[in-house]
A and B are shown apart, each in its own frame.
Chain A
Amino acid sequence: MNLLAEAFSAALASLNAHRLRSFLTTLGILIGTMAVIAVVSVLQGFSDSISNQFSDLGSNTLTLDAINEQENFRTGRINRITFDDVETLRYRVPGISRVAPIIVPQLGGAAYRGRTTTPQILGATEESQDVLGVDASIGRYITASDDRNGRRIVVIGVDVRDELRMPKNPVGEYLLIGREWFRVVGLLEKRGEIFGFSQDNRVFIPFSVARSLTGTFERPFMEVSFTVENLAELAQVRERANRAVRLSRKLAPNAEPDFEIKAADSFIKQFNQITATATAVLAGIVGISLLVGGIGIMNIMLVSVTERTREIGILKALGATRRDILIQFLLEAALLSLLGGLVGIVLGLLAGMGIASLIPNFPPAHVPVWVMLAAAGFSALVGVVFGIAPASKAASLDPIEALRYE
């Protein structure tokens, strides 16, 4: 241990003797690690913020959604989720605890004291509060009673309030939506943006109201989120729901489904997959740059061994074994590479923070500690691997010839 600490300080001293050369040699490693850390910090910050925004959707939540191909939109034969599907989920599938349908009625814009805006208008039941994780920050959210009694009430998003210049506390104000008046009972919690799209430019009205305002022949867009009673049964419930909905939609046994039941975290999964792919590509690039950096280190270490041939001869004459010399040079290579890696990590963090702060609305950069440790460990490893050839060359020098070397 003691010995290692000493070899360590000897290696440092030797690198210090050629500061500029050491720095230039390790530049490849430095730039490589800096690139990884910068990119990882930006990606990770981004992915953290995405996961946070979606984590409100619990992992026990499933969503029923219609599938539409390009073809459906072109021909106008658009598949929709129907009220029957909602009933099916509610009453025909055991293991489902709460069903929260969302309907998008085509009602037009919203107006308040002569100002207008066009928020996303959603019809929802009380269950959406838990299932979708929406809630009011001022006032209240939609209740079962609102839904049952068909009350003309609305819970509005922050953007709607601000766009219409309503009071900070808009509860009690009246809003014209389409051709109907709605009383504001609550203000939704602020959600911020996802991919630059505001999540606060929307209003919720009771599901029954949205449904009654929809014409008999209109087929509004609908989506149903539901939670399972027991998370362990998620897969079974999903399969049960799948079969029940096939029946309610009267699909032939071998017909392609025109709907899908997604787990709520599937978006996060998809996003993580993209991140993972980006990381893999990045890892490849970094691998190449570290390889180049490693070759640089090997090269300069070979030069260093040649330059110090006489010194090695002296050490051997004084009783250094092959192993002593080998360790000394390996340590020097590892240290050289590690120092480059450490400086690269610091610069990469700074670069990541800089990039994240330059782009407006971008989440702050963040690097997991394990990534930094891995980067440091990896750069040291590169030094060891590429130090093997120079170190064993040094270790196997003949003492007499080394001493005679000019």
Chain B
Amino acid sequence: MIELRGIVKKYVLGEETVLALAGVDLFIGRNEYVALIGPSGSGKSTLMNIIGCLDSPSAGQYILNGRDTSSLRDDELAIVRNREIGFIFQSFHLLPRQTALQNVMQPLVYRRMPPAERRERAAHALEKVGLGDRLDHRPNQLSGGQRQRVAVARALVGEPSLLLADEPTGNLDSRTSREIMALFDALHSQGQTVVVVTHEPDIAAHCQRTIRVRDGLVVEDSLNPPRAA
């Protein structure tokens, strides 16, 4: 469902040109559970942003669900993000003034969904991540782990074909990290395609496949040994 061919991303900073991605070829199929690992600055986030249609490559071709994204305009990309992608960030990126429920409802606003249906689906998504009793809490009234669960609920509420998480446990302690990963495991077992960026081997071990990135290139792509449950 994801196919990258010769993806290059360059940043021009005055005289200097930074090659964040130096030609990435990658294929990820439906219901895969992939860990993207690599040292800091290797290009993991840049790659994720391109996969998530938040950013566009300087060169190369990215085909998502059979559609070449390089021909899409800004607003078409916004629609793809809204319908196909669920994004989870290291620093949660919740809307600070809105309640958990309102945060989770937000992607559905852009689908022009009627409020009642939106509310129902958002409440259901929050229940799935174990926050059924925190609907009206604002982000600053929630713990880090709870905030990330809200973010997961928000990513899932639109039933995207692809769940992307960029260091989702980077700001969490090891216990809450395990809880979040357990959530991903469950989602994957229900058929969700999941890609997780991490630099922690523990986290990567949850996945079935590990892709290692270094200096903007894929240097290793291997299947993990099945985990003992």
Chain A interface residues (CB < 8 Å from chain B)? 2-3, 6, 13-14, 17, 310-311, 313-324, 399-400, 403
Q: Is B182 an interface residue (CB 8 A)?
A: no
Min Cβ gap A398→B in Å is: 8
Q: Is B74 an interface residue (CB 8 A)?
A: yes
Q: Would B115 and A6 count as touching, CB distance under 8 A? A: yes
SS of A interface (majority): helix
Q: Would A399 and B95 count as touching, CB distance under 8 A? A: no
Besides the contacts A6-B109, A317-B81, A318-B106, what 9 more A-B pairs have beta carbons closer than 8 Å? A14-B97, A310-B93, A314-B93, A314-B94, A315-B106, A318-B82, A318-B107, A321-B110, A400-B54
A399: nearest chain-B partner, CB-CB: B54
Q: Would A324 and B97 count as touching, CB distance under 8 A? A: no
For the complex of A and B, the 8 pairs showing the least CB-CB separation, nearest first, are A319-B82, A321-B75, A321-B78, A319-B110, A318-B107, A319-B81, A314-B93, A400-B55
**From residue 80 to 101 of chain B, which have CB atoms closer than 8 A to chain A?**
81-83, 87, 89, 93-97
Min Cβ gap B18→A in Å is: 14
Min Cβ gap A406→B in Å is: 11
Q: Would B89 and A403 count as touching, CB distance under 8 A? A: yes
A–B complex contacts, Cβ < 8 Å, 24 sampled = A6-B109, A13-B97, A14-B97, A311-B95, A315-B95, A316-B54, A316-B78, A316-B81, A317-B54, A317-B87, A318-B87, A318-B107, A319-B78, A319-B79, A319-B81, A319-B107, A319-B110, A322-B75, A324-B110, A399-B54, A400-B49, A400-B54, A403-B54, A403-B93
- For B79, the chain A residues whose CB sits under 8 A away are 319, 321
Q: Is B66 an interface residue (CB 8 A)?
A: no
Q: How large is the interface on B (under 10, 10 to 19, 20 to 34, 35 or more residues)?
A: 20 to 34
Given contacts A318-B81, A400-B55, contact A2 B110 (CB under 8 A): no
**From residue 3 to 18 of chain B, which have CB atoms closer than 8 A to chain A?**
none
Q: Is B112 an interface residue (CB 8 A)?
A: yes
Q: Is B225 an interface residue (CB 8 A)?
A: no
Q: Is B114 an interface residue (CB 8 A)?
A: yes
Q: Is B147 an interface residue (CB 8 A)?
A: no
- For B94, the chain A residues whose CB sits under 8 A away are 314
- For A3, the chain B residues whose CB sits under 8 A away are 109, 112
A-B contact count (CB 8 A): 62
- For A314, the chain B residues whose CB sits under 8 A away are 93-95
Given contacts A310-B93, A317-B87, contact A322 B74 (CB under 8 A): yes
A113 vs B42: C-alpha distance in the bound complex, in angstroms? Answer: 116
Residue among A3, A311, A399, A403 facing the most chain B CB atoms (10 A cut-off): A399
Across the interface, B110 reaches (CB within 8 A) one of A17, A311, A320, namely A320
A5 vs B143: C-alpha distance in the bound complex, in angstroms? Answer: 33
Min Cβ gap A328→B in Å is: 10
A319: nearest chain-B partner, CB-CB: B82
- For A324, the chain B residues whose CB sits under 8 A away are 110
- For B206, the chain A residues whose CB sits under 8 A away are none
Q: Is B44 an interface residue (CB 8 A)?
A: no
**From residue 27 to 58 of chain B, which have CB atoms closer than 8 A to chain A?**
49, 52, 54-55
- For B83, the chain A residues whose CB sits under 8 A away are 319
Q: Would B114 and A2 count as touching, CB distance under 8 A? A: yes
Q: Is B209 an interface residue (CB 8 A)?
A: no
A14 vs B98: C-alpha distance in the bound complex, in angstroms? Answer: 10
- For A320, the chain B residues whose CB sits under 8 A away are 78, 110
Q: Is B212 an interface residue (CB 8 A)?
A: no
A317 vs B55: C-alpha distance in the bound complex, in angstroms? Answer: 10
A313 vs B95: C-alpha distance in the bound complex, in angstroms? Answer: 10
- For A13, the chain B residues whose CB sits under 8 A away are 97
Residue among B78, B83, B110 facing the most chain A CB atoms (10 A cut-off): B78
Q: Is B149 an interface residue (CB 8 A)?
A: no
Q: Would B54 and A318 count as touching, CB distance under 8 A? A: no
Q: Would A2 and B115 count as touching, CB distance under 8 A? A: yes
- For A319, the chain B residues whose CB sits under 8 A away are 78-79, 81-83, 107, 110-111, 158
- For B107, the chain A residues whose CB sits under 8 A away are 318-319
A325: nearest chain-B partner, CB-CB: B78
B76: nearest chain-A partner, CB-CB: A321
Min Cβ gap A97→B in Å is: 70
- For B78, the chain A residues whose CB sits under 8 A away are 316, 319-322
Min Cβ gap A164→B in Å is: 77
Residue among A311, A316, A317, A403 facing the most chain B CB atoms (10 A cut-off): A317
- For A14, the chain B residues whose CB sits under 8 A away are 97
Q: Would A317 and B93 count as touching, CB distance under 8 A? A: yes
- For B52, the chain A residues whose CB sits under 8 A away are 317
- For B110, the chain A residues whose CB sits under 8 A away are 318-321, 324
A16 vs B12: C-alpha distance in the bound complex, in angstroms? Answer: 41
- For B115, the chain A residues whose CB sits under 8 A away are 2, 6
- For B97, the chain A residues whose CB sits under 8 A away are 13-14, 17
- For A400, the chain B residues whose CB sits under 8 A away are 49, 54-55
- For A403, the chain B residues whose CB sits under 8 A away are 54, 89, 93
Min Cβ gap A324→B in Å is: 6
Q: Would A323 and B75 count as touching, CB distance under 8 A? A: yes
Min Cβ gap A400→B in Å is: 5
Min Cβ gap A353→B in Å is: 39
B75: nearest chain-A partner, CB-CB: A321
Min Cβ gap B105→A in Å is: 10
- For B95, the chain A residues whose CB sits under 8 A away are 311, 314-315
Min Cβ gap A18→B in Å is: 10
A315 vs B81: C-alpha distance in the bound complex, in angstroms? Answer: 11
